[in-house]
Structure 1
Amino acid sequence: MPEDQHTGPSDEELRTLDAHWRAANYLSAGQIYLLGNPLLTEPLRPEHVKPRLLGHWGTSPGLNLVYTHLNRVIRARDLDALCIWGPGHGGPSILANTWLEGTYGEIYPDVGRDAAGMARLFRQFSFPGGVPSHVAPEVPGSIHEGGELGYSLAHAYGAAFDNPGLLVACVIGDGEAETGPLAGSWHSNKFLDPVHDGAVLPILHLNGYKIANPTVLARLPEPELEELLRGYGHDPITVSGDDPATVHRAMATAMDTALDRIAQAQRAAREDGVTERVRWPVIVLRTPKGWTGPAEVDGKPVENTWRSHQVPLPGVRENPEHLRQLEAWLKSYRPGELFDADGRPVDEVLACVPEGDRRLGATPHANGGLLLRELPLPDLDEFAVPVDKPGTTLHEPTRVLGDLLARVMKDTETRRDFRLVGPDETASNRLDAVFDASGKAWQERTLPVDEHLDRHGRVLEILSEHLCQGWLEGYLLTGRHGLFSCYEAFVHIVDSMVNQHIKWLRTSRELTWRAPIASLNYLLTSHVWRQDHNGFSHQDPGFVDHVLNKSPGVVRVYLPPDANTLLSVADHVLRSRDYVNVIVAGKQPCYDWLTMDAARAHCARGAGVWDWAGTENGGEPDVVLACAGDVPTQEVLAAAQLLRRHLPQLAFRVVNVVDIARLMPREEHPHGMPDFEYDGLFTTDKPVIFAYHGYPWLIHRLAYRRTGHQNLHVRGYKESGTTTTPFDMVVRNDLDRYRLVMDVIDRVPGLAVRAAAVRQRMADARTRHHEWIREHGTDMPEVAEWSWNP
């Protein structure tokens, strides 16, 4: 980013800035109100106004001011810039500005820069068949959904990581600033490397009010607010006022000052080797809410109050006085000076607008798939564990995966487009091999006892799942790759964030101009069945349920049963585009079941028969033992071994499911099996005993339309947990091998009588287990030392 000392705008520049700002304000208000007569070429009549007035005016003038002044500095300094628009429902402003700069009409040719295009711009806003009221995927230049608040600053830092030439401006609304994720996001500056990363310029927009209440930061005394921001490690630059000429000059000066400081800090780090953490600038912009709108409506103050938040004049069609006020308000921007007779912006309005990809609406960083490169993934055979015989050797699956991720990190060292994020759990989740290739990003001071901290590191750890999610989303949306590793129970913290990302992906897929981006990949480990020392608080497998409620075209869930299947699944998801992939895999020692070739084939099927484990011998099974997840797979195999020993005449089939969506009908999910395939695998009339990693009712929900659903009996986690032995967890939840054998006996016709003694032995084993752990504190030898030996 070039360094350039500026003396401030000339009077001529200020005139063009004000013209652009007035044009954006006019277009913003027009979108909220007008159905016709876009240039006010005739007196405004009720039929020119939309029957339903939807939108948010209050934040629009401030956003327009920021957009206008970003245009100026981008053009003057030839900056590569992106802006994240945090205030919710700021859609009118960003639509107005992208229309002014021409990018909107280039993407949507029927909304060109003329009177007809302006009319369509106005009509489509918050109108059936049109566009949402907030910044959404349909808006060029955006990577941030404006409907849910709290994530803008995290997205901004994610976009800046490994983008050394990029300026990421981020407008933070004062309502948004009250959220927990945003409050935590201020600490992102401790992870921003001035050498390899771009710069983030936060712009805290204080207009005083939310929907109906004042905002906290806007009411803080100025010195206290500045102390707060300085405590976060920023140097604040304040712009305030309600006189447009004064604010324009102050804002231009603030922008120049901030960018000069950013350029100086980057030069010091990149050329002079300065390692002290940068105190990055932040602009505090105080302007009235609903600025330049109606000052008073029906005898009540509106401008600079919460009443201007949405639609300042609500009854325009029915109230002649409101109609008169609306016409006066719109004409106050002097549209005849801003647009020619054909509705095109005049040269003065466009004087500050950059050209080509430098326009904020045209930056390829906001359409990250255009910049995305294939991730260099090595041959999985280099990392595969040898499996001479199923179920006799043990590996920690995530540790094996860690070796693969370390290679990926090493092979992207120069191009820097892969990051691993997680809440202080990389080593805990057995992925610490990555530290051989890259340390943990850290710009604060270090102590001799610290390990793996690195000013230039690409592993991001902070004890905030919100920040991990926001950083990674921003990173992916700007054309890079990554993986989010998290304890299974606590990934729920980002439930709402992943909702928004899934909605973004679903919508963006329908936009031909948005190129596919790398998938958002979760690795959920330290899972429900192995919380030996953390206990009940760390036991919750429900994120899978949450995700599978979402758009089936976007979400994928995988439960690899061993190390080699985890490698195969990881390779697949890291190559994928436009998905949210959830992998659930254990970090504790786990039996190896499949060779690498067999794992590839099994993962490609998503679900399949393990013929080496069953006893059907080409005939029809009496019962199907199904499993999904590493611990359930082990218990099913242990149950299969008991059935072989105690009921040798029983014909049973073992089915393992890796891709959980395979259970759904093809009509409900792209990965779902056709009915004939499902029926062939699970049968239509035989009992199916299904051991599942999570809450059992999910399996019923996914398979409820299948022919044999009435024969399906699912065992899984049923919210019974504590700090206990690994096997006691499965016993407590009736997922253990002995319980599964009892289920077989209970459900296969005729076995209840013929195998009564076997069932009794299984029940006795469960009783012995309870007595044993209370005496010894460990699992019984027959469990702890078990291996597959049919």
Structure 2
Amino acid sequence: MRSDQRPQNAPLDDDELSALDAHWRAANYLSAGQIYLMDNPLLRKPLEPAHIKPRLLGHWGTSPGLNLVHTHLNRLIRNRDLDALCIWGPGHGGPAVLANAWLEGSYSETYPNVSRDEEGMFRLFRQFSFPGGVPSHVAPETPGSIHEGGELGYALSHAYGAAFDNPGLLVACVIGDGEAETGPLAASWHSNKFLDPVHDGAVLPILHLNGYKIANPTVLARLPETELDELLRGYGHEPLHVTGDDPRQVHQAMAAAMDTAADRIRGIQQQARSGAADGRPRWPVIVLRTPKGWTGPAEVDGLPVEGTWRAHQVPLPAVREDAGHRAQLESWLRSYRPEELFDDDGRPRPQVLACVPEGPRRLGATRHANGGLLVRDLPLPPLERFAVPVDRPGGTRHEPTRVLGNLLQAVMAATADRRDFRLVGPDETASNRLQAVYAASGKAWQAQVLPADEDLDRHGRVMEILSEHTCQGWLEGYLLTGRHGLFSCYEAFVHIVDSMVNQHIKWLRTSRALPWRAPVASLNYLLTSHVWRQDHNGFSHQDPGFVDHVLNKSPEVVRVYLPPDANTLLSVADHVLRSRDQVNVVVAGKQPCFDWLSLDEARAHCARGAGVWEWAGTEDGTREPDVVLACAGDVPTQEVLAAADLLRRHLPHVAVRVVNVVDMTRLMPREDHPHGMTDLEYDALFTPGRPVVFAYHGYPWLVHRLAYRRHGHPDLHVRGYKEVGTTTTPFDMVVRNDLDRYRLVMDVIDRVPGLAARATGVRQAMADARTRHHAYIRAHGTDMPEVADWTWDH
């Protein structure tokens, strides 16, 4: 049939249809081969048990659909010269994405030993899910990927993150119907209300409905088409449907859907960029319905496989042992007619590659999937512009995050033209005292605006949605495509993204071992509204455990900082915003707290990560201290200094050393973390043989875990949050958790040898103060004046 004789909605002539089908068959062959074969990659000999992998690992069910999408994206990119990236959501679709990268040549360019010939095909097959090889899912090792396919739910938010501030980029996103059932994915459909068609690229969601998960049907695949359409239109999309199991018909329908989607996207962007847009656009979404395990075995051992959950992983599980299964596998692989697809040297024939784009337009070669090649240094202004003056320690108070907000405003302003910095958070920017940024950029918003609304901006780069999952996904996609950002969140609720940060840390750890992956900007968290000043919200808002979670992860990637005041927060922020390939957790308060250090002192202290505050202690330099009072975090620091003040007044003969820790990883041994102290450094700071009373921001056992191998660990006593909370006064929170100044003085008396007998009266006075506090807050509803009005005046 000539092209001018094609039926309506059939954009492909016979030659193009044949080429697309050849590419798709080749990708299917390579996908199945990776799962099963460790030798005889082109079936030049009859299949024998020795050709089969001893352990069959991988997922076939999703692969044919992913191969179809990749094939048709190739056509779209080549025909329209598009700059494109694809996010492959279906978890273990690795065989398909690897197959396509090998076909287009980007895999062999990245890994020259896996050449695009028979020998390279042998290595491609053997390495898949094999010791010393590559994972079964899309991973950092996969060229063209920014998405870890090992866990479901994050594909669409990653896609939008990649599209923000990338006006020339099309981000296709394949969403599996199992993935579509997850909470993170469900929330991320609303990302289109934040996509600016003027300054951002476009996201093309492709919802792949193959009907089943591991063992159960999927919800969206069982919805009537009209109901699914209503759902997708409710999300703000216009659905385009591709349905079937006949390859020729599906190719025609997929090509038509891709062309229609691209035309609609171009129209939306042209209208918006010309200033003629009126209202929020309705973006296209493709709904692709094909059988699970399409083109694989229809039936195995008398049971249906293709189109059922049995095709999810390995449809023929016993091919080494069962001659019937082995014959069925050989028949399946030969059904793709590999002799038509690969030449005598095992290279893809020209027809197979006819639809493949060239150079950086190939999906496996796009620089957007290796964002470290694109990232530029962030233009950070001098901190002197924002630092608070400190004439003496504790003489003034500021809200640390409000001070940081001024710095972030300047960063927003400095990146206004280049648009490569975003602040994300779940409806908490102003609550966390960062609202100064609105002077440089409002809040991204494409939906309806009412007269009472404030700071909404169709072109804004402050991102707020009450879904921590979506914030995390946006920022990950943004960072991995070469930009910078900060995630601000209430400390207690950042746990919602525990699993997501796990995956990102794993991604960074693996990427660091790949020389071809360039370092990207770090994922930076600002955790505020923290446990000690959530007294008004109560127990539900009190949880400092994210730090514990992160410090369990890869030490070369993770960092945790607890700046005690505004200037140290500025110094830490400057450091983490400049860093690469890390996950940095910064915990800082938003309530007024004492200013302890000048900017120069803060810089020096943060560079050390932990150090002695000589002005706070009573050492005279002639002997070792009797006790070390250590602290990490703003409220623990205040309580330690108040305790040091009490010791000065009541027990002046006790030599006290005050140590403040900003970088929690400094407590770890050097061999366990690059920031860790050597034993000599640790001993010089904490003085083995002397009691150490450590007031810590979070759960006290973390400090024990970090320092358990230190010489002085038997003398280490840690106070921190012990899961006691309620709606109460600020000081009552520390009293309830035994972190208060009076308890710390009692700990010193109890642990310094010989002091308990000599300081009985002081200890009793401290206990009485706690009792007096208990009565006072119940009578007055506020903290005692001796606490509320306390200042450091030494």
TM bin (shorter chain): over 0.9
Contact 2:426–2:466 (CA under 8 A) maintained in structure 1: yes
Partner of 2:780: 776
2:626 to 622, 625, 648: 622
Q: Secondary structure at the match of 2:532?
A: coil
Q: Deviations over 1:444-471 (max 9, x none)?
A: 0100000000000000000000000000
1:229-268 alignment, distance < 5 Å: 229-268=232-271
1:51 to 51, 54, 65: 54
TM-score relative to the length of structure 2: 0.99
Q: What displacement does 1:272 show?
A: 3.5
Q: Deviations over 1:579-605 (max 9, x none)?
A: 000000000001000000000000000
1:495-506 alignment, distance < 5 Å: 495-506=498-509
Contact 2:402–2:434 (CA under 8 A) maintained in structure 1: yes
Contact 2:9–2:252 (CA under 8 A) maintained in structure 1: no
2:695 & 2:51 partners in 1: Cα distance?
Answer: 63
What is the identity, as a one-letter code, of the residue corresponding to 2:349? V
2:352 & 2:669 partners in 1: Cα distance?
Answer: 55
1:9 & 1:627 partners in 2: Cα distance?
Answer: 70
Q: Secondary structure at the match of 2:585?
A: strand
Q: Secondary structure at the match of 1:109?
A: coil
* Counterpart check, 1:712 vs 2:712: no
1:300-699 alignment, distance < 5 Å: 300-619=303-622, 620-699=624-703
Contact 2:10–2:252 (CA under 8 A) maintained in structure 1: no
Partner of 1:97: 100
Contact 2:487–2:525 (CA under 8 A) maintained in structure 1: yes
2:67 to 53, 60, 64: 64
2:404 & 2:9 partners in 1: Cα distance?
Answer: 51
Contact 1:14–1:245 (CA under 8 A) maintained in structure 2: yes
Contact 1:82–1:365 (CA under 8 A) maintained in structure 2: yes
What is the identity, as a one-letter code, of the residue corresponding to 1:720? V
Q: What displacement does 1:273 show?
A: 3.1
2:539 & 2:60 partners in 1: Cα distance?
Answer: 48
Contact 1:484–1:523 (CA under 8 A) maintained in structure 2: yes
Contact 1:529–1:539 (CA under 8 A) maintained in structure 2: yes
1:25-44 alignment, distance < 5 Å: 25-44=28-47
1:214 to 217, 223, 242: 217
Contact 2:176–2:208 (CA under 8 A) maintained in structure 1: yes
Q: What displacement does 1:40 show?
A: 0.7
Contact 1:6–1:256 (CA under 8 A) maintained in structure 2: no
2:740 & 2:330 partners in 1: Cα distance?
Answer: 73
Q: What displacement does 1:571 show?
A: 0.2
Q: Secondary structure at the match of 2:378?
A: coil
2:715 & 2:327 partners in 1: Cα distance?
Answer: 70
What is the identity, as a one-letter code, of the residue corresponding to 1:552? P
What is the identity, as a one-letter code, of the residue corresponding to 1:49? I
2:275 & 2:655 partners in 1: Cα distance?
Answer: 74
Q: What displacement does 1:694 show?
A: 0.2
2:359 & 2:256 partners in 1: Cα distance?
Answer: 25
1:349 & 1:218 partners in 2: Cα distance?
Answer: 31
Partner of 1:786: 790
Contact 1:626–1:689 (CA under 8 A) maintained in structure 2: yes
Q: What displacement does 1:276 show?
A: 1.0
Q: Deviations over 1:739-777 (max 9, x none)?
A: 000000000011101111011111111011001000000
* Counterpart check, 1:703 vs 2:710: no
2:376 & 2:62 partners in 1: Cα distance?
Answer: 37
Contact 2:527–2:587 (CA under 8 A) maintained in structure 1: yes
Q: What displacement does 1:7 show?
A: 7.7
* Counterpart check, 1:151 vs 2:168: no
Partner of 1:759: 763
2:741 & 2:44 partners in 1: Cα distance?
Answer: 80
Q: What displacement does 1:562 show?
A: 0.1
What is the identity, as a one-letter code, of the residue corresponding to 2:323? P
1:781 & 1:745 partners in 2: Cα distance?
Answer: 25
Partner of 1:279: 282
Q: What displacement does 1:205 show?
A: 0.1
What is the identity, as a one-letter code, of the residue corresponding to 1:473? E
Contact 2:561–2:587 (CA under 8 A) maintained in structure 1: yes
Contact 2:108–2:116 (CA under 8 A) maintained in structure 1: yes
Q: Secondary structure at the match of 1:419?
A: strand
Partner of 1:167: 170
Contact 1:317–1:323 (CA under 8 A) maintained in structure 2: yes
2:9 & 2:686 partners in 1: Cα distance?
Answer: 73
2:767 & 2:39 partners in 1: Cα distance?
Answer: 77
Q: Secondary structure at the match of 2:452?
A: coil
The gaps in structure 1 that reach 5 residues or longer are: none
1:176 & 1:528 partners in 2: Cα distance?
Answer: 34
2:133 to 130, 135, 144: 130
1:283-294 alignment, distance < 5 Å: 283-294=286-297
Q: What displacement does 1:6 show?
A: 10
Q: What displacement does 1:176 show?
A: 0.2
Q: Secondary structure at the match of 1:572?
A: helix
Partner of 2:109: 106
What is the identity, as a one-letter code, of the residue corresponding to 1:493? I
What is the identity, as a one-letter code, of the residue corresponding to 1:45? E
Contact 1:563–1:592 (CA under 8 A) maintained in structure 2: yes
1:181-192 alignment, distance < 5 Å: 181-192=184-195
Contact 2:9–2:253 (CA under 8 A) maintained in structure 1: no
What is the identity, as a one-letter code, of the residue corresponding to 1:239? V
2:755 & 2:310 partners in 1: Cα distance?
Answer: 73
1:442 & 1:18 partners in 2: Cα distance?
Answer: 42
Q: What displacement does 1:188 show?
A: 0.4
Q: Secondary structure at the match of 1:587?
A: coil
Q: Deviations over 1:476-535 (max 9, x none)?
A: 000000000000000000000000000000000000000000000000000000013101
2:729 to 716, 722, 725: 725
1:396 & 1:634 partners in 2: Cα distance?
Answer: 14
2:433 & 2:14 partners in 1: Cα distance?
Answer: 61
Q: What displacement does 1:275 show?
A: 3.9
What is the identity, as a one-letter code, of the residue corresponding to 1:351? A
Contact 1:62–1:205 (CA under 8 A) maintained in structure 2: yes
Number of residue pairs the alignment of both structures matches: 786
2:720 & 2:42 partners in 1: Cα distance?
Answer: 64
Q: Secondary structure at the match of 1:348?
A: coil
Q: What displacement does 1:42 show?
A: 1.1
Percent identity, please.
82
Q: Deviations over 1:659-694 (max 9, x none)?
A: 001001111111110000000000010000000000
Partner of 2:205: 202
What is the identity, as a one-letter code, of the residue corresponding to 2:625? P
Q: What displacement does 1:107 show?
A: 0.7
What is the identity, as a one-letter code, of the residue corresponding to 1:757? G
Q: What displacement does 1:392 show?
A: 1.5
Q: Secondary structure at the match of 1:612?
A: helix
The gaps in structure 2 that reach 5 residues or longer are: 1-7
